[in-house]
Amino acid sequence: MNVPAGDLASYKRCTEGIAAAWPAFQAARADRLRHGNETEKVAEAIIEDLFARVLDWDPGDLMYGVDYADIVVSRNLAKYLVIETKRPGTLWPGRKALHEAVRQARGYADRQNIKSVAASDGRFLYTADIIGGGLVDRLLVDLAAPEPPLGLWWVSMHGIYRPCEAPAICVPITSDEPSGARSATSSETNLLHPKYKLPVECFAYVPDASQPKTWKLPYR
């Protein structure tokens, strides 16, 4: 029988650590971004702070430039996650740039037989699992949030390898239309996502409103 994540001792330890470390992480993140127009390397540094200072990974668990992947998260020779980083301020949820960054991470993950992918610009972090040839949402958080997003446990050392019970979507999405998307017609608004059983307006990224299987990031 699968034990709910909230009942695990590792969940309690990790979420308590997230809450305790969050103020210092926010201060360090703001310091890294103080100049404006930072490079992709700054986003990488913020992700390293997140995984090694907020979560329970060690700095040595983050490998850089492995088969062109920006960051590969591993432990004891097992690779768990590919993270594609982009310049700060470029990956707003629901926009085409985020989709392209995830697609790029997916290519690196497929070559290295890694089952989870992520994209981040140092502000937003999105992760998904590769299941059945597609991507299943795992996490979407705002790293600038004043309150610690405890859903980060799903990318912790003891959370990343567990099947996600429900996507931890912690980001309110703006009403701006995603780049490249179009408005749904009256017939399309009656469609529901095959897994989540939600209509199109409940998803942050809608590349094709007439094809529910393409809808990603449910947030309502």
pLDDT of residue 170: 80
Q: What residues pair up with 141 in beta bridges, in sequence order?
A: 125
> Do 98 and 114 contact (CB within 8 A), yes or no?
no
**Amino acid symbol at 60:** G
Provide the whole-model pTM. 0.78
Judge residue 125's burial from the number of C-beta atoms within 10 Å of its C-beta, 0-12 exposed, 13-18 middle, 19 or more buried: buried
What average pLDDT does this structure show over 140-167? 93
> Do 212 and 192 contact (CB within 8 A), yes or no?
yes
Nearest by Cα to 166 from 131, 146, 139, 133: 139
For the stretch 102-131, pLDDT in tens is 999 999 999 999 999 999 999 999 999 999
Q: Give the residue with greater pLDDT, 71 vs 2.
A: 71
Judged against a pLDDT cut of 70, whether residue 41 lies above it is answered with yes
Query: Residue holding tokens 């942050």?
Result: 204
User: Over the chain, what is the mean pLDDT?
Assistant: 86
pLDDT of residue 219: 62
Q: Where are the alpha helices (DSSP H) in 36-130?
A: 40-49, 96-112
Strand ranges (DSSP E) for 56-213? 62-66, 69-75, 78-85, 116-120, 124-131, 134-142, 168-169, 203-205
For the stretch 154-192, pLDDT in tens is 999 999 999 988 888 887 654 444 333 333 444 444 688
Nearest by Cα to 125 from 144, 147, 106: 144
pLDDT of residue 187: 44
